[in-house]
Amino acid sequence: MKRHILLFLLLVTAFAARVWGVRFCLPFRYSHIDESVVIFYTMRFFGGSFNPSPFFDYPTLGLYILFIVYSACLLAGRYASVESFVTAFMNDASSFYMTARFLSVLAGVFTVYLTYLLGKKFFSRKTGLIAALFLSLTPRHILDSHYGTVDALSLFFTLLSAIFIYNAALKSRIRDWLLAGLFVGLSAASKYYGAIFLINILIAYMLCARKRWYFPVLSVLSCMAGFVAAFPYSVLDFGAFSGRFVDRLHLIIGNGTGMQRAILDTGWFLYPAIIAASCGFLFAMISFIALIYNLFHRKKENLLAISFIIVFYLFSGGWRVVTERYALPFYPFFAIISADFLLTVRERIKERKIKDIFLPCVITLFLITVLPSIVRMDRILAGKDTRIIAYEWLKDNIPRKSRILREPFTPEFGSTDDYRVKVDWQETIQQEDVERLALDYDYVLTANFDYDTASAFEGRLDKDAVLVREFSGERLGTFHNPRVRIYKLRGAKWENRKSW
């Protein structure tokens, strides 16, 4: 009973950490560009076609799930028709973004629960509880659970597949091989990299006691069926899908690019640094020691647990693009092996008093290292983004009817705002001479997530335009609080309605 209460409290903590600040930057639509794309193409399904073409950057399972939730909201009677539903989205998409983000919050919380189940299966109930604690307070997992994207959902399905991969290795039941493959397929139908965990099914086959040649075959067929069922247009519109998939594959993974680069520029070197920065030094140190410790154990449970880390590390380390969110699959498995390692160390301590205080001390140190960054992160998310602050200032100080050129990720304007605004999405207009821009625009808005440098465009504006105002805030990843600058071009009217 006590452990059930502890697990419940961990899940409540996980939910609170992920839901705090989930309204960040609303009602703006493009604070997180991936989020805006996912929601846009989901809404496009209400036009009658479920083909996401030309958007095959992500598979469709996450989009279809979000569509089902949106449809449930529509059927609940709040909207009179599909047309009024879409009109509401066009006028103010805040509730649509909140729905997508809340799905990620739930996926993140359930992933914490699955981490508990995996830790319990691999090792013990205590291992599961400690592992759930570690993941529930992993800052990077908390941050990505705020976004209405597919990352948290894909990790959820990956852990579901891991549960049945474990069952398949130890019990060798046909249903486990089928379900292991199915959930790998659903993970891949959420985000393509999930397919790599088919290798873990083969590892489970090598470790299982009762081998039958058809076990991995069943898993592969089940994986393919799950993937196609959740992403049917990968087959129905194979030409468009394959073309875009190969393009994205080359962009993110590259054609042997990782092998050709210096080791310091690859994920093989960067991922340990990302994990250390994302989880805190203490958790990272314990994780890496636990990984080495498990390499020398021949028990199935230890080998299976670390196989997920090793397979994904070898697979993703050579990618051309390496970002923090790509490291998400590491965290649950590091949490599990770290929890087991700590319990093993505790059991080997002979001094009773030291043994009793060992785990409380380690957990306390873990909390000390991660809680300040979690509080800071959620406080920033819950606060006003620089784009919101800049927008409010613009409304009070820039004359109506002004012609505004803005870069992406600057303050957004709605249909009721009385400004003539052009968004330079492709960043081609800014290549023109500043004096030429002054013929068509009165003000220019720029955004830069790197506070330490100015873009080439900002450098030209600093010489040939007037910097009216600059807004900066606490930095958080690559989607929050850009430095926003407002430039007045020559000849523009100026209206100072409030002191600045």
Would you state the pLDDT for residue 44? 94
d(CA 304, CA 176): 15
Would you state the pLDDT for residue 149? 95
Would you state the pLDDT for residue 255? 55
Closest CA to 62 of 186, 135, 150: 150
User: Across the strands, what pairs with 406?
Assistant: 423, 445
Axis-axis angle for helices 281-295, 330-348 (nearest 10): 80
d(CA 447, CA 472): 10
Query: If you compute the radius of gyration of the chain from its CA atoms, what whole number of angstroms results?
Result: 25
Q: Are 422 and 404 in contact (CB under 8 A)?
A: yes
Q: Give the number of C-alpha atoms closer than 13 A to the C-alpha of residue 375, restricted to the C-beta side.
A: 6
And the tokens for 70?
């949106």
Would you state the pLDDT for residue 492? 54
* pLDDT beneath 50, residues of the chain: 256-259, 494-500
Q: Are 132 and 336 in contact (CB under 8 A)?
A: no
Three-state SS for the chain is CHHHHHHHHHHHHHHHHHHCCCCCCCCCCCCCHHHHHHHHHHHHHHHCCCCCCCCCCCCCHHHHHHHHHHHHHHHHHHCCCHHHHHHHHHHCCHHHHHHHHHHHHHHHHHHHHHHHHHHHHHCCHHHHHHHHHHHHCCHHHHHHCCCCCCHHHHHHHHHHHHHHHHHHHHHCCHHHHHHHHHHHHHHHCCCHHHHHHHHHHHHHHHHCCCCCCHHHHHHHHHHHHHHHHHCCHHHHCHHHHHHHHHHHHHHHCCCCHHHHCCHHHCHHHHHHHHHHHHHCHHHHHHHHHHHHHHHCCCCHHHHHHHHHHHHHHHHHCCCCCCCHHHHCCHHHHHHHHHHHHHHHHHHHCCCHHHHHHHHHHHHHHHHHHHHHHHHHHHHHHHCCCHHHHHHHHHHHHCCCCCEEEECCCCCCCCCCCCCEEEECCCCCHHHCCHHHHHHHCCEEEEEECCCCCCCHHHHHHHHHCEEEEEECCCCECCCECCEEEEEECCCCCCCCCCCC
d(CA 14, CA 417): 39
d(CA 181, CA 167): 12
Would you state the pLDDT for residue 390? 97
- The residue type at 463: K
Q: Give the number of C-alpha atoms closer than 13 A to the C-alpha of residue 151, restricted to the C-beta side.
A: 23
* Distance, CA of 298 to chain centre: 34
Would you state the pLDDT for residue 404? 95
Would you state the pLDDT for residue 79? 84
Would you state the pLDDT for residue 491? 64
| Phi, psi of 463, deg, nearest 5 | -85, -40
